[in-house]
Amino acid sequence: MDKQFPAYYCQEAFIDVVLPADEIKIDESNQWLIIGYPGVDGIEFRVYKHKRDAAVYAYYPIDDEHIWIANSAEDLISKWKEGKIVL
């Protein structure tokens, strides 16, 4: 995998907001990397697999929809710690 992400485990919520590198998966469409979870409603944090873009999207499986939430995994972690991620 060409893209690297800083792993972040949230002690308060007991979830991997950003997974360790060996746990990152490719989605069923082979277009997205699943890099973490917020721990609600089956939502996944994803980035495009093939694009240089580092933007992180929340994937809502019920609606089959991707919503931009951060410029990068580092930005996601920062926003998570500040309580700025609203899903």
The domain tally of the chain equals 1
Residue 19 lies in a domain: yes
Residue 2 lies in a domain: no
Kindly report the length of the chain.
Answer: 87
Mean pLDDT of all residues in 32-52: 94
Per-residue pLDDT at 1: 58
Residue 78 sits at φ, ψ, to 5 deg, of -60, -50
Residue span of the structural domain in which 33 resides:
8-81
Mean pLDDT of all residues in 13-37: 96
Residue 87 lies in a domain: no
Share of the chain above pLDDT 90, in %: 89
Q: Exposed/middle/buried for 75, CB within 10 Å: 0-12, 13-18, 19+?
A: middle
Residue 52 lies in a domain: yes
Which residue has 């996601």 as its token pair?
76
pLDDT in tens, 10-24: 999 999 999 999 999
